[in-house]
Amino acid sequence: MYENKTEETPVKAVLACVDTGEFDAETSIGELAELASTANAEVVGSIIQKRPSYDPATCMGAGRLEELKEQLDPLGAELVIFDHELTGVQVRNIEQILDVRVIDRTTLILDIFAQRARTKEGKLQVELAQQKYRLPRLTGMGTALSRLGGGIGTRGPGETKLETDKRHIRKRITYLEAELDELKKHRDFSRSRRKKDGVLCAAIVGYTNVGKSTLLNALTDAGVLAENKLFATLDITSRSIELPDGRSVMLIDTVGLIRRLPHNLVEAFKSTLEEAAAADIILNVQDLTSPEIKEQAEVTAHLLSELGCDGIPQIYVMNKADAAPFTDTVFEDDNTVMISAKEQTGFDRLLECIMKNLPETAKRMKLLIPYDKTAFISRIRQEGKVFSEEYTSDGTAIDALVDIKLVKEAELYKRQ
């Protein structure tokens, strides 16, 4: 009926969408095209049908599906991707009409995540989301359960035996949740350790493909993959940078967000996304060149609110200023800064903004410590950092980052 292409050969795909007025169909199908391209598909056509509601048997009207079927052969299409979540019955019925493989938006996103996951935790999270998505769709899938992996929508962990029954999948889900719970305990321990050690954390969040990884690379030489593709990176990367006042901040890159991100993925990646909720400050990166910047910002704000990030200081990092058609309408203040991660411009101001918005945990001071008080220098060094010291006739002159607990005492030795 159809064959799977190799990873190197792009699969020719047609996109399908039913416009019920629930969302902007044109914008959504445009994003679906980007997702398909990321998954190594060549989009050769698209179809949008306006309907008051979805057809419970075929999602799209049967008449329009027959029209679509006539277009598939001339286009050489082997795959149809629906911009909706389909039930098992709907997939089976649509495939019987079209005689090509059919997947939905969620399956496509899960496939991309399966490609991008590199760490053990990332792979476990993807498989958990896949298994939870597959479980309620087993009934009604029929012959679709005999498909083997090898094409878009069939990759990833847990895909080697699609004939598995519900009992086996439930058992696998229980195992995956236990494994992830164990990893979450380690992550929570690392977070509490960072807090105890006074390590400041800044979480980089934002819509997928706004330039988060490019920013992390430019600021820290992290070497994270930065491509002009949706979900180019999936796993968490942490790197430390130094602020102008001498304090160190741990920058944490998080998974990119997307409108209508599948619920199972949000749940599976909750522990990863929780890095934002545990951060001292959030760098909310936005793409100035995107015509959907407002909608993307709303998606990000909604998810951050869901994660409980409302009380955390945020800096709005307006990226790609070098390519934006207009920048004069962006008002910069202590919480908003324009940058170009690609051209590495605006970074000095960004670091200043981070410094101003972080809770004051230490203060850079120039001190003159009498020789009979040198033990105080040891305390400063233990709790903070000494940048330079010079021995003078009156004592030791130091330039140091002083922990907030010692600032009051240090004021006694402040150099004029």
CATH number of the domain enclosing 222: 3.40.50.300
Q: Which pLDDT score is estimated for 339? A: 92
140 and 243 share one domain: no
Q: Which pLDDT score is estimated for 304? A: 84
Query: Among the residues of 207-333, which ranges form H helices?
Result: 212-220, 263-268, 270-277, 293-306
273 and 386 share one domain: no
219 and 276 share one domain: yes
Map residue 201 onto helix, strand or coil.
strand
Q: CA 277 to CA 312: how far, in whole Å?
A: 8
Answer whether residue 160 is part of any domain: no
Answer whether residue 403 is part of any domain: yes
pLDDT in tens, the chain (416 residues): 344 444 568 899 999 999 998 888 888 898 899 889 888 899 999 999 999 999 999 999 988 999 999 999 999 999 999 998 898 889 989 999 999 999 999 888 888 888 777 778 778 888 888 888 888 777 555 544 444 445 666 555 544 444 556 788 889 889 988 988 888 787 777 767 666 566 788 888 888 888 888 888 888 875 555 555 555 555 567 788 888 888 888 888 876 777 777 666 666 666 667 777 788 899 999 999 888 888 888 888 888 888 788 888 999 999 998 888 776 667 888 899 999 998 999 999 999 999 888 877 788 889 999 999 989 999 998 888 888 999 999 999 999 888 888 988 999 998 86
341 and 381 share one domain: no
378 and 311 share one domain: no
C-alpha to C-alpha distances, 395 to 373, 398, 415, nearest whole angstrom: 9, 10, 11
Q: CA 400 to CA 156: how far, in whole Å?
A: 51
233 and 366 share one domain: no
Retrieve residue 32's tokens.
């679906």
Question: For the chain, how many structural domains are there in total?
Answer: 3
Q: Which pLDDT score is estimated for 160? A: 43
What is the side-by-side strand order in the sheet with 200-206?
Answer: 237-242, 248-253, 200-206, 281-287, 314-319, 336-338
Q: Which pLDDT score is estimated for 161? A: 47
212 and 353 share one domain: yes
Q: Which amino acid is at 195?
A: K
317 and 217 share one domain: yes
235 and 337 share one domain: yes
Q: Which pLDDT score is estimated for 159? A: 45
Q: Which of 322, 339, 357 is the last residue of a domain?
A: 357
Q: Which amino acid is at 62?
A: A
Domain containing residue 303: 199-357
How many CA atoms does the CB half-sphere of 331 hold within 13 Å?
Answer: 0
Q: Which pLDDT score is estimated for 191? A: 66
Answer whether residue 164 is part of any domain: no
Q: What is the residue-wise DSSP string for 345-391? A: BSHHHHHHHHHHHS---EEEEEEEE-GGGHHHHHHHHHHSEEEEEEE
